[in-house]
A and B are shown apart, each in its own frame.
Chain A
Amino acid sequence: MRRYLPRRWLGAVLLGIMLLVVLPPGGWSQSLTVSLSNQQLYSEPSFTSPPVAPVPQGAQVTLITRQGDWVQVDYQGKRGWLHKAAVGGGGPSVSGLPALLGGGPVRQTTQDEVALAGKGFTPEVEASFRQKNPGLNYAQVDEVERFQVDPARLQAFLQEGGLN
């Protein structure tokens, strides 16, 4: 019996190594913070799929999986999809792009520039745009976006007007 023990130990060590390799750094229960307001959990990774539940800004959600521009999360026992931009980008980093392009010289371009180009029109681009065009009225845009119709009130509105 005694001579088999080392093999068992070896098996346990190998299993441990495999788990370390497979599991992400924070384990499976990686937590993400919802950074935008007016967000919904969707039943599919698409804005046209039926919403599951609203998620408030600042909510902590548990990451289940990633798929393209979407992350599947658990929020208070409800499972659904959020756009990655709602959880602070969340997608694969493009910081590896210079390495993928295979050139040391690419590193001379700043990481910020690479990230901006990779993500397209982002809050960072908006910030630069606002800085360059101070006459724009973003305060009123925010005001328009903040206005919310309470779902119960909308339901009453529909009912009163004989609408669907």
Chain B
Amino acid sequence: MRRMALLLTLAAGLSLMAGFNVPSLPLPTPPLPSQAQKAAEVLTKTGTKAMQAARPLSDAEEYYLGRAVAARLLARYPLYRDPEATLYVNQVGLTVARKSSRPHTFRGYHFAVLDSQEPNAFACPGGLILVTRGLLRMCATEDELAAVLAHEVAHVAHKDGVSSISQARWSEVLTTAGAEAARQYGGGVAGAVLNLFEGAVEDVIRTLVVTGYSRQAEEAADREAVSMLTRSGYQPGALAAVLGKMSGGSGGIFRTHPPTAERLARVRSVSRETAPGPKDRVRAERFQRVKF
């Protein structure tokens, strides 16, 4: 009896996480022993719904997931605490983020520099964007830095990190729920949610650090980055310029954001040529003043 109650609670809880309102839940009758079969059917039905709708996390949930991902990354890469560099990267990042398809997130966009020579950048769900000194040194101008940050903002805006959470993870939790959540997860419902959270963090980290996003996600992020550059007044060709420098590299961002010839050609085709303006020199000069 107690087990059944726990299972029903878990199913209902996961349905709520998936955005269902309490009144829309298919409410079961009290789970009397003779109605065990019926209760199991309700669980299956609710569980299936939860599984289908489990991916779209709320903005607040995405934020807590992103914090955990960033906490993992910051345990591996130390922060580069130069105040001028931090301010500058945040100013450039916010400039492009304001022109993105998602200008506001739960607690806003924040940019930080990692003290590592490995060229890399990480877009944590919710808007924490970490970029290494190694990658900043590959940028020759503020416009190229803006291109790198715009590409990462686009991954946040498109929720590419959240989408990398394995669909199987949701079903795994629900299957286990069906096969004794309480015993498996010790902590019952709370344990199952924590387990799901840990798994989600792992999935996002794996994508950010090891496997990279899908080719389609990269293309979409490139397209939006060019749009952000154009709308904010940067040279749209800066993305192609910085991608061109990455060709031939290996590891780090070269593995997770592979700059193939095909990708470069596509970016060049969507980047409208803009005549250099008098302010280009101002941006180039202030970029040179920052020590990365």
Contact = CB atoms under 8 A, between A and B. Distances in A.
Interface of A: 36-40, 42, 47-48, 51, 69, 83, 85, 92, 94, 96-98, 100-110, 112-114, 116-123, 125-126, 128-130, 132, 135-138, 140-141, 143-145, 147, 149, 153-154, 157-158, 160-164
Where chain B touches its partner, the secondary structure class is helix
Given A40-B104, A69-B60, A140-B71, 9 more contacts: A94-B22, A97-B9, A100-B12, A100-B22, A120-B58, A141-B67, A147-B90, A157-B91, A164-B99
Interface of B: 1-2, 4-6, 8-10, 12-14, 16-17, 22, 25, 27-31, 57-61, 64-65, 67-68, 70-72, 74-75, 79, 86-87, 90-91, 94-95, 99, 102-108, 110, 112, 128, 130, 142, 187-190, 192-194, 197-198, 200-201, 231-234, 277-280, 282-283, 286
Contact of A102 (B2, B27, B74): B27
Given A101-B27, A132-B194, A136-B72, A163 B65 contact: no
A63 to B, nearest CB: 18
A158 to B, nearest CB: 6
Contact of A123 (B6, B64, B193): B64
Contact of B189 (A109, A121, A135, A162): A109
A37 B30 CA distance: 43
A122 B79 contact: no
A121 B61 contact: yes
A157 B13 contact: no
B31 A164 contact: no
A149 B91 contact: yes
Given A100-B25, A117-B189, A138 B67 contact: yes
